[in-house]
């Protein structure tokens, strides 16, 4: 079993952008479609895991989407039941993925499992 990276290395990896994987040249349309389907399966599996397995404050997660812009004010807004909203800074990974962590939702949210809604704001509002 390998050793865990140092905290500084883990943090640098967390903050680093991730290039979008370019498709190799010479692929057929069917092969391209298969690659896209595989990528979508991974995103779907991560979405399924994030919505069915409980997470605590501070848990780091990836948000998948399209056409994200790299801006210094990009935020993820976590909302519970339309009553409590907290923001968390996002790390731009690439135009299809952001990284963030679940904020402390405060004492207003009762203990237990809750579904949170996440919205991305490009201008910090």
Given this model, what pLDDT does residue 4 score? 67
Exposed/middle/buried for residue 76 (C-beta within 10 Å: 0-12, 13-18, 19+): buried
Share of the chain above pLDDT 70, in %: 96
* Nearest residue to 125 (alpha-carbon basis) of 55, 84, 77: 77
Distance CA 87, CA 47 (A): 20
Domain positions in the chain: 56-121
Distance CA 100, CA 76 (A): 7
pLDDT tens per residue, range 14-72: 999 998 877 778 888 898 899 889 988 988 888 788 777 778 889 999 898 889 999 98
Over range 110-119, report the average pLDDT. 87
Q: What are phi and psi of 75, to 5 degrees?
A: -130, 155
Report the top-level CATH class of 56-121: mainly beta
Given this model, what pLDDT does residue 52 score? 77
């Amino acid at each position: 079993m390998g050793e865990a990276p140092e905290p500084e290395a883990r943090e640098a990896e967390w903050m680093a952008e991730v290039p979008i994987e370019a498709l190799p040249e010479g692929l057929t349309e069917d092969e391209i479609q298969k690659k896209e389907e595989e990528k979508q399966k991974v995103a779907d599996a991560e979405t399924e895991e994030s919505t069915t397995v409980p997470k605590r404050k501070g848990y780091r997660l990836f948000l998948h989407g399209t056409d994200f812009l790299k801006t210094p004010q990009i935020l993820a807004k976590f909302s519970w039941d339309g009553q409590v909203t907290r923001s968390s800074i996002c790390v731009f990974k690439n135009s299809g993925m952001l990284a963030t962590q679940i904020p402390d939702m405060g004492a207003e949210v009762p203990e237990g499992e809750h579904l949170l809604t996440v919205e991305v704001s490009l201008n910090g509002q």
